[in-house]
């Protein structure tokens, strides 16, 4: 029962990371809105998800994990209904931000509740089902969004969450046991500083697409203020007795490499996904369903390849497998940059999709073990939460950054105008992922540290901010 409850809830939250991307052209047509506003329909969700995830885990530690899990589920459900009823693009963006806040509570607590509910002997099977449901959410997001938009309406990509959420909430109350964690202090100043700081940085990147460009005082002011608030967050975390994210963990080269590599991967991947779905529908005039089906060559590949990547990582170590996967993903983007044209065929594009799918599988399959082995056993919970939050942050930054490159070099005026912007954005995405591959090569700890922190193979992660399964956005 616990596996079903937590798995379905995480499936909904993961699905909404990507379900909206194939609906963007339809939303643009029905509600209006600029490229900047389309970016915020994605970024509002991923930003709230990223900056509030560890705070959501702390809420569960203090007020009860089951109680906060249900509260997060109901918040996500209510926000889904609000998104479906949004009369304009502004209201949709606001609802997406609240959705992200609900997901930030649900995701870390779902895996923690599952870990505590299932006996150790059956935990591997339960976590396997949980991970499969999250993988299905990643693979099915663009396809589900395309089918629903084309055959029902774009509002139903959000309405579909409502009956599921209302059904799961009372079942969760009866089927999950209440528990609390050792960290019962909330880092409100830290949450406030990092939320506003990251919002300022992303707002500046998005705003630079228009409104006077990079020299606009509002853009410069937003970027400077965001950077200052993030710096203040770092200083606060170093001084407070109950930090959301202990800065001392980043002295660990392996932990820093895993987080930097994950952020760079998300920058490239989510930025490219944001643009390629619009290319397929706006320039090549594919239906939302056709676009979703074609993306399966990329998004469904991890379901096939991940088991083999996991076996390979057990034999040779996670670090080379992750670096190899990122190199494949970068190669896929570079290939697209070389062949893209307004009338490029799907057969010509297909190698890029396949390279990207295999690359993502090789990246995510060993990632959890690589993260856990990079830190002490007592730090594993917060490490997994930090890595998840970093990837969500990378998704928001990637959409903003690559859309800015696209707007600076091209636009929607014609097919060639779109390609003129898309190709430089692809090169930037490829460079970000290639840099991630290089960074991941440093994700190793000194031998002495590894021996000191060695843990049994099935050590249970600490309950704080457990790692959710990957979402492309993870």
Model confidence pLDDT, tens digit, residues 388-446: 778 878 888 888 889 889 988 988 888 999 999 999 999 999 999 999 999 998 877 55
For the cut 70, the answer to whether the pLDDT of residue 30 exceeds it is: yes
For the cut 60, the answer to whether the pLDDT of residue 453 exceeds it is: no
Whole-number average pLDDT of the chain: 81
Contact 53, 392 (CB under 8 A): yes
Quote the CA–CA distance of 176 and 254 in Å, as a whole number.
Answer: 35
The stretch 181-193 carries a mean pLDDT of 77
Contact 215, 101 (CB under 8 A): no
The more confidently predicted of residues 454 and 38 is: 38
The stretch 298-313 carries a mean pLDDT of 78
Model confidence pLDDT, tens digit, residues 197-217: 888 887 787 777 655 567 778
The stretch 242-265 carries a mean pLDDT of 85
Given this model, what pLDDT does residue 273 score? 86
The stretch 362-373 carries a mean pLDDT of 74
With b for 16 or more beta-carbon neighbours within 10 A and e for fewer, the 133-144 pattern comes to: bbbbbbbbbbbb
Contact 387, 258 (CB under 8 A): yes
Q: In Å, how far are 18, 92, 346 from 290, measured between CA atoms?
A: 16, 25, 11
Predicted TM-score (pTM) of this structure: 0.77
Given this model, what pLDDT does residue 209 score? 64
Quote the CA–CA distance of 54 and 432 in Å, as a whole number.
Answer: 25
What is the C-alpha radius of gyration for the chain, rounded to an integer number of angstroms? 21
Burial class (CB in 10 A: 0-12, 13-18, 19+), 71: buried
The string of DSSP letters for 161-184 reads: HHHHHHHHHHHHHHHS-----S--
Given this model, what pLDDT does residue 372 score? 67
The stretch 230-247 carries a mean pLDDT of 86
Model confidence pLDDT, tens digit, residues 125-174: 666 566 667 666 766 677 788 888 888 888 998 998 999 999 999 999 98
Given this model, what pLDDT does residue 420 score? 94
Quote the CA–CA distance of 46 and 216 in Å, as a whole number.
Answer: 26
């Amino acid at each position: 029962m616990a596996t079903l409850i937590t798995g379905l809830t995480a499936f909904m939250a993961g699905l909404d990371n990507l379900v909206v991307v194939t609906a963007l052209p339809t939303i643009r047509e029905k509600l209006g809105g600029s490229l900047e506003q389309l970016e915020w329909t994605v970024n509002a969700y991923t930003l709230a998800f990223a900056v509030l995830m560890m705070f959501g885990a702390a809420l569960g530690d203090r007020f009860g994990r089951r109680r906060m899990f249900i509260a997060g589920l109901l918040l996500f459900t209510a926000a889904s209904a609000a998104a479906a009823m949004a009369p304009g693009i502004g209201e949709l963006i606001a609802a997406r931000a609240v959705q992200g806040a609900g997901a930030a509570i649900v995701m870390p607590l779902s895996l923690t509740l599952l870990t505590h509910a299932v006996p150790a002997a059956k935990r591997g099977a339960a976590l396997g089902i949980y991970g499969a449901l999250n993988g299905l959410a990643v693979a099915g997001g663009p396809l589900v969004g395309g089918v629903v938009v084309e055959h029902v309406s774009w509002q139903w990509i959000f309405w579909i969450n409502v009956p599921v959420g209302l059904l799961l909430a009372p079942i969760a109350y009866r089927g999950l046991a209440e528990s609390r964690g050792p960290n019962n202090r909330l880092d409100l100043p830290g949450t406030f500083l990092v939320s506003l700081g990251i919002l300022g940085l992303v707002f500046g990147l998005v705003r630079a697409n228009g409104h006077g460009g990079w020299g606009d005082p509002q853009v410069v002011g937003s970027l400077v203020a965001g950077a200052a608030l993030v710096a203040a967050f770092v200083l606060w975390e170093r001084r407070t007795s109950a930090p959301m994210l202990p800065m001392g963990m980043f002295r660990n080269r392996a932990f820093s490499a895993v987080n930097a590599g994950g952020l760079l991967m998300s920058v490239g991947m989510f930025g490219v996904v944001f643009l390629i779905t619009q290319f397929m529908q706006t320039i090549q005039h594919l239906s939302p369903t056709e676009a979703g089906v074609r993306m399966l060559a990329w998004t469904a590949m991890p379901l096939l390849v991940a088991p083999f990547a996991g076996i390979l990582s057990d034999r040779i170590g996670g670090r080379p497998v992750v670096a190899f996967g990122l190199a494949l993903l970068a190669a896929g983007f570079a290939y697209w940059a070389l062949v893209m044209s307004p009338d490029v065929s799907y057969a010509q594009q297909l190698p890029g999709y396949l390279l990207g799918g295999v690359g993502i599988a090789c990246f995510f399959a060993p990632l959890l073990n690589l993260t856990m082995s990079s830190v002490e056993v007592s730090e594993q919970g917060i490490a997994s939460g930090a890595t998840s939050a970093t990837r969500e942050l990378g998704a928001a930054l990637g959409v903003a950054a690559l859309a800015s490159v696209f707007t600076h070099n091209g636009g929607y005026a014609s097919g060639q105008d779109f390609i003129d912007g898309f190709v430089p954005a692809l090169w930037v995405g490829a460079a970000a992922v290639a840099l991630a591959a290089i960074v991941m090569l440093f994700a190793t700890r000194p031998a002495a540290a590894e021996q000191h922190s060695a843990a049994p193979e099935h050590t249970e992660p600490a309950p704080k901010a457990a790692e959710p399964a990957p979402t492309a956005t993870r």
